[in-house]
Amino acid sequence: MSGGDKLDFEIRPNPAPVSAADRAALLANPGFGRVFTDHMITIRYADGKGWYDARVEARGPIPMDPASAVLHYAQEIFEGMKAYRTADGGVTMFRPYANAARFNTSATRMAMPTLPEQTFVDSLHRLIEIDREWIPEGEDGSLYLRPFMFASEVFLGVRPANEYLYVVIASPVGAYFSGGVKPVTVWVSPDYTRAAPGGTGAAKCGGNYAASLAAQAEAAEHGCEQVVFLDAVERRYVDELGGMNVFFVYDDGSVVTPPLTGTILPGITRESVLTLASAAGHTVQERPVSFADWQADATSGRLREVFACGTAAVITPIGRVRFPEGEFTMGGGEPGTVTMALRQQLVDLQRGKAADPQNWVHRVF
């Protein structure tokens, strides 16, 4: 299939969907990533044939041979985005074409076929259309969409696979962190790193997250919700959190985030925050921030706020920082005004409640 071709999706409705009453009970408190909708999208790929067999079908187990390439060589990538209810009864997504472009960047890095961006967005539309009733109501409710692709060819040779399966599933979700928006405590890992130059840090592949889990468990042992990774070369500079990008707000109003040097995931929310902060009059910089400077500037008061951002949590203030030698707090442990203003602006944009000069909001209905 060439990049300009369009796939038609075969619709195979779930013969036994969840009842309206049971669905309502599940949506009352869905949590995050534990409840799933009735359907999924599948599209297959084969070398010499391209993308084919696009379906909307009942969500269920995926048959897999034990010699499937992904189980042995981890050729796998994914994305994450949300669909939101709007006040007029419509449904929106936020910058899905940016996710489509990043999906293909990840595919290229992992030696996988790219998926036409329009096909990517069309697949999201098809799933939202059939499972629209699964989108929760309320300020924190949304439908989390998880497109992913993996090597499905059955073989044990070390080479890029010749066959792949693209899938989209959806999960109605509430707030990422329980208890709503409140400052989180983070652990600065002294031993683990997330990615090295030349590696896969800029790709959204499962291996990056698997590599973060031991450090995340270490963070939990120290009473922290998230881990902060330092660079793999000097172990001095802040890279990102286990699943989110990080921003620093200084007393002169400047907003700083580490630069994209190949070891940091280029977050869609990260890029959006940079644009919104600049439009709000803040001086915006992408530059290295050492952990030593983070601690010193927080202690002196020069650094006023720190926050993490990503699709799942949107923007989350960081209130306390722990490391082997001690800990320190940010802004007295309370959410900062710049952090919360940017968060509210982003939330309002995503839900169609604010002006959208960047044309970021994608209307589904």
Tens of pLDDT, residue by residue, the chain (365 residues)? 334 468 999 999 999 999 999 999 999 999 999 999 999 999 999 999 999 999 999 999 999 999 999 999 999 999 999 999 998 889 999 999 999 999 999 999 999 999 999 999 999 999 999 999 999 988 789 999 999 999 999 999 999 999 999 999 999 998 776 666 789 999 999 999 999 999 999 999 999 999 999 999 999 999 999 999 999 999 999 999 998 999 999 999 999 999 999 999 999 999 999 999 999 999 999 999 999 999 999 999 999 999 999 998 899 999 999 999 999 999 877 889 999 999 999 999 998 889 999 999 999 99
Residue 200: C-alpha distances to residues 76, 284, 296, 349, 359 (Å): 12, 26, 31, 31, 30
Identify which of 146, 189, 186 has the alpha carbon closest to the alpha carbon of residue 169: 146
Distance, in Å, from the CA atom of 248 to the CA atom of 201, rounded to the nearest integer, reads: 21
> Taking the mean position of all CA atoms in its chain, how far away is CA 347?
15
**Which residue has tokens 């929106």?**
92
* Six-digit token string for 131: 């499972």
Could you tell me if 33 and 171 are in contact, meaning their C-beta atoms sit under 8 angstroms apart?
Answer: yes
CB of 309 within 8 A of CB of 247? yes
Q: What is the rounded (10 degree) CA torsion for 31, 311, 204, 187?
A: -80
Please name the amino acid found at residue 201: G
Report how far apart the first and last C-alpha atoms of the chain are (Å, whole number). 28
> For 48-54, which contacts have Cβ atoms below 8 Å and span 24 or more sequence positions?
50/1, 50/2, 50/5, 51/1, 51/5, 51/7, 51/113, 51/115, 51/116, 51/119, 51/166, 52/1, 52/7, 53/10, 54/7, 54/8, 54/9, 54/10, 54/119, 54/123
Residues in a beta bridge with 50: 46
Q: Which two tokens stand for residue 137?
A: 């109501």
Q: Which is it for the CA torsion 314, 142, 117, 114, positive or negative?
A: positive
* Residue length of the chain: 365
